[in-house]
Amino acid sequence: MQEIFDPFNLIIIAIAVVIFLRLRNVLGRRDGHENRPLDPFTRTDKPDGDEKGSSNVIPLPTSSPAGRETDKSAKDGPSPWNGAGAEDTPLNRTLRQIAQADPEFEPEKFLDGAKMAYEMIVQAFTQSDLETLKNLLSREVYAGFESSIHDREKQGAVMQTEFIGIDSADIVDAEKNGNEVRVTVKFVSELIQFTSDKDGKVLEGEPDVVREVVDIWTFGRDVTSRDPNWKLDATESAN
């Protein structure tokens, strides 16, 4: 027993404790979130002063816990909402109903996230990135994208897209059917997009021409779901 309190043994124990603490600080502790795939539609809150953030996160609004109390301004929303229809119009009233069901919903923040989602989806489709698309699309829309990608691959065709920028993104429609909500956005963007065969011959589009593209996309979610993610629910091209 006295050997345990021998000064030499105490020194060894102290060194072991220091090494353990340093390893713990370097390696961290497991909290059940390791290797979890990034979901670009999940908003993450970061501490004040953290300017780095994550470029893989699209800050679309998330649902609030059930039973959460909200004040009048949160329920009614700002008046009027810029870019969300004139005040006291059917569109504006529907958006207010969505905000009552989901107090975190704000049109301007939603549009910021929708623009990021738009670019990510277009690039993922170009690169045949089905894993990313699965996180961003509803089942029906994903099935259509997947079929187009497989057809392109069977033909040995390669698609290339270069984003020049999104000129505008405006909410043009919204609907609330029970717990299901849908918000439609009109995107006007400029991009270079073309498809070539395996030998580099251009099959569609022009590699040196910037063209304006108008897309009307609808995003939807269940406001009572624990899943906070908005997913692309329908697409329409206005070109």
Q: Report DSSP letters for the chain, one per residue.
A: -GGGG-HHHHHHHHHHHHHHHHHHHHH----S-TTPPP-TTS-----TT-----TT------PPPTT----HHHHH-SSSPTTS-STTSHHHHHHHHHHHH-TT--HHHHHHHHHHHHHHHHHHHHTT-HHHHHHHB-HHHHHHHHHHHHHHHHTT-EEEEEEEEEEEEEEEEEEEETTEEEEEEEEEEEEEEEEE-TTS-EEEE-TT--EEEEEEEEEEEETTSS----EEEEEEE--
What is the average pLDDT score of the chain? 75
CB count in 10 Å sphere of residue 161: 16
What pLDDT score does 15 carry? 58
Q: Tell me: pLDDT of 37 over 80.
A: no
More confident residue, 225 or 74: 225
What pLDDT score does 82 carry? 45
Residues 138-152 have a mean pLDDT of 95
Residues 4-10 have a mean pLDDT of 55
Pairing of strands 202-205, 180-196: antiparallel
- How far apart are alpha carbons 220 and 103 in whole angstroms? 16
What pLDDT score does 146 carry? 95
Which band of pLDDT confidence, cut at 50, 70 and 90, is reported for residue 81? Answer: low
21 token code pair: 């603490």
Lowest model confidence (mean pLDDT) among 12-26, 78-92, 124-138, 206-220: 12-26
**Residue-wise burial string across 14-23, b where 16 or more C-beta atoms lie within 10 A, e elsewhere:** eeeeeeeeee
Q: Which fold has domain 73-237?
A: Nuclear Transport Factor 2; Chain: A, (3.10.450)
* Cβ atoms of residues 9 and 3 within 8 Å: yes
Which band of pLDDT confidence, cut at 50, 70 and 90, is reported for residue 119? Answer: very high
Q: Tell me: pLDDT of 88 over 90.
A: no
CB count in 10 Å sphere of residue 218: 20
Residues 50-57 have a mean pLDDT of 38
Q: Tell me: pLDDT of 33 over 60.
A: no
- How far apart are alpha carbons 14 and 169 in whole angstroms? 62
Which band of pLDDT confidence, cut at 50, 70 and 90, is reported for residue 132? Answer: very high
Q: Tell me: pLDDT of 216 over 90.
A: yes
Q: What is the pLDDT of residues 185-199, one digit of tens each?
A: 999 999 999 999 888
Residues 14-18 have a mean pLDDT of 54
Q: Tell me: pLDDT of 35 over 60.
A: no
- How far apart are alpha carbons 111 and 94 in whole angstroms? 16
- How far apart are alpha carbons 115 and 103 in whole angstroms? 21
Considering only the C-alpha atoms of the chain, give the largest distance between any 2 of them, rounded to a whole number of Å. Answer: 87
What pLDDT score does 104 carry? 85
More confident residue, 230 or 66: 230
